């Protein structure tokens, strides 16, 4: 009887993980609504066709690489290889910031090609790209902030908690924003 009670307890999802999955579900619904609106709006006559900036390809590679380093950081944490974990979590946060920087340069490239993202000169095509990609950048920034928090904890001499939960949650979120960007990138290039 005791073993049955213990096995039921071990199958429960941690409340923080449950909350994260609910948040991810909400974010998915928001981006599904935005990309659906993009498709509807694209069928209007005044839609501006333009190529995405080349730098978006580089940012896609960057976020994919950051997902690999995040996976390796989690593995290192669970193996208690703290030096390797610190290095990998640092690289992951740096790649996240590089992703945001590359996205910014992509927007600058559009502006330099006279494709206004906002304001009276803008077209809804560029504005949709700006809003959807900008929202994704904000979610990546939230992930970078979470990574910086666990980064600081990794270097803190006072914190000796080896709970993998915060790192697992950060990894789950990080992989989610990675998959979300890949979806958006494919959407922009071949679907939308």
The ranges assigned to domains in the chain are 55-191
**What pLDDT does residue 49 have?**
87
Contact 188, 129 (CB under 8 A): yes
| Rounded Cα distance, 176 and 187, in Å | 16
Q: Is residue 24 within 8 Å of 180, Cβ to Cβ? A: no
Please, what is the angle between helix 165-186 and helix 82-112, to 10°? 30
**What residues contact residue 103 under an 8 Å CB cut-off, 6+ apart?**
55, 56, 59, 133, 137
Residue 166 neighbours by CB under 8 Å, 6+ apart:
149, 150, 153
Residue with tokens 């890949």: 182
At 9 the pLDDT is 56
How far is 85 from 78, CA to CA, in rounded Å?
A: 9
When the pLDDT of each residue in the chain is averaged and rounded to a whole number, the result is 89
Length of the chain: 192
pLDDT tens sequence across 64-76 = 999 999 999 999 9
The pTM of the full predicted model, rounded to 2 decimals, is 0.87
pLDDT (average), residues 39-54: 88
Closest CA to 143 of 23, 57, 53: 23
Query: Is residue 157 predicted with pLDDT exceeding 60?
Result: yes
Nearest to 177, CA basis, from 129, 145, 130 = 145
| Tens-digit pLDDT profile for residues 87-139 | 999 999 999 999 999 999 999 999 999 998 888 888 888 999 999 999 999 99
Is residue 149 within 8 Å of 48, Cβ to Cβ? no
CATH superfamily of 55-191: Cytochrome c oxidase, subunit III, four-helix bundle (1.20.120.80)
Alpha-carbon span 101 to 48, nearest angstrom = 25
pLDDT at residue 122 in the model = 84
User: d(Cα 61, Cα 181) in Å, to the nearest integer?
Assistant: 11
Residue 158 has pLDDT above 90, yes or no: no
């Amino acid at each position: 009887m005791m073993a049955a009670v213990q096995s039921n307890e071990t199958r429960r999802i941690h409340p923080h993980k449950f909350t994260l999955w609910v948040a991810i579900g909400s974010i998915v619904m928001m981006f599904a609504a935005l990309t659906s609106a993009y498709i509807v709006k694209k069928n209007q006559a005044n839609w501006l066709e333009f190529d995405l900036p080349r730098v978006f390809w580089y940012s896609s590679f960057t976020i994919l690489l950051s997902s690999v380093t995040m996976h390796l950081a989690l593995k290192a944490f669970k193996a208690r290889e703290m030096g390797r974990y610190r290095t990998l979590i640092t690289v992951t946060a740096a790649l996240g910031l590089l992703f945001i920087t590359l996205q910014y340069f992509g927007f600058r490239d559009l502006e330099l090609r006279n494709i206004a993202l906002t304001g009276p000169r803008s077209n809804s095509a560029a504005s949709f790209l700006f809003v959807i990609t900008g929202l994704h950048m904000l979610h990546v920034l939230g992930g970078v902030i979470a990574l910086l928090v666990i980064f600081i904890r990794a270097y803190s001499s006072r914190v000796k908690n080896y709970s993998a939960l915060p790192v697992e949650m950060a990894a789950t979120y990080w992989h989610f924003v990675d998959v979300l960007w890949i979806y958006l990138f494919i959407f922009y290039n071949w679907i939308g």
